[in-house]
Structure 1
Amino acid sequence: MKKITSRLAFIAAIAGIITISSCSKDKPTPTPEPAQEEYDAARIQFIALDASGNQTTDTTTVNFGKDGVPSPSHSHLAPGGKYRTLITLFYKGNSINQEIIDEGTEHKFFFIPSVAAGVTNFVYNDKDKDNRGIGLDGTMTIGSGEFDLKIVLRHALDKSKPEAQAWNSPNYTAAGGEDDLNVAFEIHAE
């Protein structure tokens, strides 16, 4: 009887060890990546401003599909001209701009010309709750010549970093985050 009791105790101990060792610790839950805005089309409008800063009816529009190909491939703007610049992102035919505005502290557009004389200034007309620019609505001053303009919407960046301060920061990626939009097109300002 002692042998049976000893064997049962031994079997119970082995079963307990197997049970305890087979339990795994809960794996840490990974931090989810911030959800990026999903879009399937983008529209950029350049509305000419007169000498007093009022909008005219002269509007140049560039459209992009999800593939990032511009239509038309290049746009003609006046050298030295000022333009109200409006960007609209679409998903299934509906604007998703309100999502970008609602999460404004996590979004910022950058406007990076291929040559220094391409775009001489950009002012953000829209701001997040911390009074930092978003870029769906702005005022752009065009230089002269032919140049490419890259427009980037950065998501989940740290807007307080120096690399996120300038509208044309070539080092915007150092502010963190990911691109929601990254398109380029040619401007002729002659």
Structure 2
Amino acid sequence: MKTKNQFYLVVLLVASSLMLGCSSDDPTPENDGELITDVTLTFLELDENSDPVGVAFDFTASDPEGIETGATPTVETVILEKGKTYQMTIELYNSIENEDITEEISEESDEHQFYFLGSAFVGTPVLTYAYDDEGGIKLGLKGIVTVNENPAAATATMQIILRHDLDKNFAGADNPNFSNYVQAGGETDLDITFPLVIE
């Protein structure tokens, strides 16, 4: 009887050690994406010669926990005038680390790209967008936004997506309104939607 109990004890110990051995000690894979708490869209009107007119104005979205990780961010409504052309620049900030993400995105332009979707840019668009980054790269920190002279709607949504580690040579990936951006691979660092009003 003693031998039988010892046998069961050995089987139990072996089974326990096998179960413990199966537990993974591998660290959770890290997301190399950027933590962004603040997004600022700055608009500067351009005349027919592409010269600046007036004073720049901006709209922001923010979440102190990170726009992709926190609760619903606070987002301002973008207000633009019909028939106008604007230079739009994007600034990204991480207030948790007190870090300007814009510079990092610019330095890693070969790994990042913005896409501009939502009802403002696709379907029956009320806005058109063209990349206008320094050196002719397709990034999206700086671009030209033109408001339709006779927009089909007075309100729309501007969805702004930042992809990281994508294949920038993928067919269609150079289109700022590329709805199938996921097919180009990579991960999303930012996906924020601004309400738009056209006056």
Distance 2:48 2:137 in 1: 27
Aligned partner of 2:73: which letter? Answer: V
Aligned partner of 2:132: which letter? Answer: N
Deviations 1:148-181 (A, max 9, x none): 0100111001011124121001111111111111
Which residue of structure 2 aligns with residue 174 of structure 1? Answer: 183
Which residue of structure 2 aligns with residue 63 of structure 1? Answer: 60
Distance 1:132 1:50 in 2: 23
Q: How many residues align?
A: 159
Which residue of structure 2 aligns with residue 140 of structure 1? Answer: 145
Q: Are 1:149 and 1:184, in contact at CA under 8 Å, matched by a contact in 2?
A: yes
Deviations 1:102-137 (A, max 9, x none): 1111100011131422212x2212157xx5401101
Structure 1, 37-46 or 63-72: larger mean CA deviation? 63-72
Distance 1:91 1:37 in 2: 8
Aligned partner of 2:131: which letter? Answer: Y
Over 3 Å counting, the alpha-carbon distance change for 1:127 and 1:116 in structure 2 is: farther
Which residue of structure 1 aligns with residue 160 of structure 2? Answer: 151
Distance 2:106 2:30 in 1: 19
Give TM-score, length-normalised by structure 1. 0.74
Structure 1, 33-42 or 139-148: larger mean CA deviation? 33-42
Aligned partner of 2:159: which letter? Answer: K
Residue 117 of structure 1 pairs with residue 125 of structure 2? yes
Deviations 1:1-23 (A, max 9, x none): xxxxxxxxxxxxxxxxxxxxxxx
Which residue of structure 1 aligns with residue 194 of structure 2? Answer: 185
Give TM-score, length-normalised by structure 2. 0.70
> Structure 2 unaligned runs (5+)?
1-25
**Which of the numbers 103, 107, 115 marks the counterpart of 2:112?**
107
Runs of 4+ in 1 over 3 A off after TM superposition: none
Q: Are 1:127 and 1:134, in contact at CA under 8 Å, matched by a contact in 2?
A: no
SS at 1:36 equivalent: coil
Which residue of structure 2 aligns with residue 83 of structure 1? Answer: 86
Percent identity over paired residues: 30
Residue 36 of structure 1 pairs with residue 36 of structure 2? no
- RMSD over aligned CA atoms reads 2.5
